[in-house]
Structure 1
């Protein structure tokens, strides 16, 4: 039998990224499961933890077989169980749903950069687990009334083709800008929805961070998310569309950190990457030219914000480097 091929450079890289993300969510689940009041929410999180845990071990085994240093990721040192609730009213499942949404995209991308059969199988299986958890979270939030759907709209009864440059949003002094189409509504709604959850998360992190520098950084990120929600909500209102809102997912008054500053900084960094990717798609699929302009400004701000976060993580020794190539 031929020897099993070595891991390629891209496989080493994507497995490293997966290890960081999986150990982060497993560590956070330890706290959220302990704090969960709703039995159904607790079951969703417990099921995910039990099915996901073995894959961390599989990645460790793959690294050891290649004589590669096993990543550190996140451990029990990064969670403080037994402290008061930092979030309430369904935030745990709202947060988990957003993390699983990020994870689905990562698994698909990682699968396209994998070649060895055991690695591709790992991502296929993780994709199924993630999709199942995402659906469980969605149905739970809909049942509890914590997840607003995108607006219902009246749609034209016949297929139309764009006529002239007015469709691209060129200002018409009589008619003004054209109405949003359903693709644009979908991306704007998604942006508002994800940033509302992100805003609640980061403001909660801000009030319990150990370092003042980190707390200030989180406050800045919360204001950034708030600005995006406000700007995109105004676009909806200008088009007579209902702005999505939820009564759930609030942060409490607790100032005792459930997670280490290192973990919270990585979590925010992950959300920044997701925001950049989501806004890029929104820009690509929005043909009314004022929308890409608005989103591009926020993308620039999010990129600069993420860069500032990386500086803080490096300063405190919290940024674990991916496996490095040897310079000959």
Structure 2
């Protein structure tokens, strides 16, 4: 028997997660459609097509839910935000790194949504969406490995035995006897560097093609900020003679013709930097050294200020679409006729 959810209103959590998933995937549709205009490698073209098909499927499904719930359809991003005739901006290899990063970001959103969904149909939607993102990431990783582009996390020795931490100095990081990085710290340093080298590559491309001076300066500032975080994280790995990851800066072409609206590019980078907040917070939660904790706190401050400045630019130009929000009861009372 098919369940009927017409009598159950969407909760705030369901509205919010559906809204952000819809908006993000309208943006993804624009970006991926442009990428498909400039791909030579047939394997990479196939996975980009699969990613586009997934975004189109998600947008259509959420649109149906919104119509059923009499919920206003977000504008998101449309054909006006992409120029499919613009020259190539990125190499084929970059598309794989980009899809890996955005798949991880999507998995983060969808996994958090699942336990806070009340309606079974919405929860099932996010479970299926999460699984689709996992499958896409697996496909991307297989191609990265096959083509020699995959960067593994550093190797460390297998422990000889089970051991326990015996002294408080295990937490040291600034002074005294500082221990080597443990596996989880290495994992998150590597992951954050990987995210940042992809983000920096995108920022270089966006800064070349941005048409608004204020937005261009914002991207250039983001590039420097991201590079600073890459260098600081890399230094932590190098202290223990562990390898870092190569930059992807050379995967950007010399084109200065914009394939995307400044609205889309700015929203995209605010979204990516917002995801860094969660990634850095995850790293702090599994960290055991004071110096690394302090480093991530600095990173979070940098990102928080940067995202706020970007949001202010979006608001200034009338590009920031408002998500669903609670009623302002005080304003309601004051405006009573």
Same-fold status (TM-score > 0.5): yes
1:171 Cα deviation after fit: 5.8
- 1:35 is matched with 38
Equivalent position of 1:52 in the other structure: 55
Q: What residue is the counterpart of 2:335 in the other structure?
A: none
Report the Cα offset of residue 283 of structure 1.
1.0
Q: 1:172 to 1:253 in 2, by over 3 A?
A: closer
Residues 121-179 of structure 1: per-residue CA shift (max 9 Å, x gap): 11111111111111111111122222211111223311111111111116664xx3111
Question: Does structure 1 residue 75 correspond to structure 2 residue 81?
Answer: no
Residue in 1 that maps onto 2:163:
160
Matched with 2:324 is 323
Counterpart in 2 of 1:96?
A: 99
- Aligned-pair CA distance for 1:17: 0.7
Q: Deviation digits for residues 234-272 of structure 1, max 9, x if unmatched? A: 111111111222668621110111111111111101111
Structure 2 equivalent of residue 14 of structure 1: 17
Shift in CA distance, 51/127, structure 1 to aligned 2, threshold 3 Å? same
Partner of 1:177: 178
- Report the TM-score when normalising by structure 2: 0.92
Aligned residue pair count = 326
Partner of 1:301: 302
**Which of 112, 120, 124 matches 2:123?**
120
* Cα distance between partner residues in 1 of 2:313 and 2:193: 27
The Cα RMSD (Å) is 1.7
Give the drift of 1:36. 1.1
Aligned residue in 1 for 2:139: 136
Q: Is the 8 A contact 2:26 2:55 kept in 1?
A: no
CA contact (8 A) 2:201 2:251 kept: yes
- The alpha-carbon distance between structure 1 residues 143 and 249, as it changes in their structure 2 partners (threshold 3 A), is farther
- Give the alignment of 1:170-249 within 5 angstroms: 173=176, 176-245=177-246
Residues 110, 170 of structure 1: alpha-carbon distance in 2 compared, 3 angstrom cutoff: closer
CA contact (8 A) 1:79 1:260 kept: yes
In 2, the alpha carbon distance for the partners of 1:182 and 1:270 equals: 28
Query: Which runs of 5 or more structure 1 residues have no equivalent in the other structure?
Result: none
Q: In structure 2, what is the Cα distance between the partners aligned to 1:323 and 1:37?
A: 41
d(CA) in 2 for partners of 1:168, 1:81? 52
| Alpha-carbon distance change, 247 to 25 in structure 1, aligned in 2, over 3 angstroms | closer
Separation in structure 1 between the aligned mates of residue 127 and residue 93 of structure 2, nearest angstrom: 29
Contact 1:146 1:246 in 2 (8 A): no
- Taking a change above 3 Å as real, the CA distance of residues 228 and 172 of structure 1, as seen in their structure-2 partners, is closer
In the alignment, structure 2 segments of 5+ residues that lack a partner are 333-337
Q: Secondary structure at the match of 1:147?
A: coil
In the alignment, is the contact (CA less than 8 A) between 2:40 and 2:92 conserved in 1?
no
| Moved beyond 4 Å, runs of 4+ | 170-173, 246-249
Partner residue in 2 for 1:250: 251
What pairs with 1:267-278 in structure 2 (closer than 5 Å)? 267-278=268-279
Residue 5 (structure 1) aligned with residue 8 (structure 2): yes
Q: CA deviation at 1:56?
A: 1.2
CA contact (8 A) 1:146 1:247 kept: no
SS in 1 for 2:251: coil
Indicate the residue corresponding to 1:262 in structure 2: 263
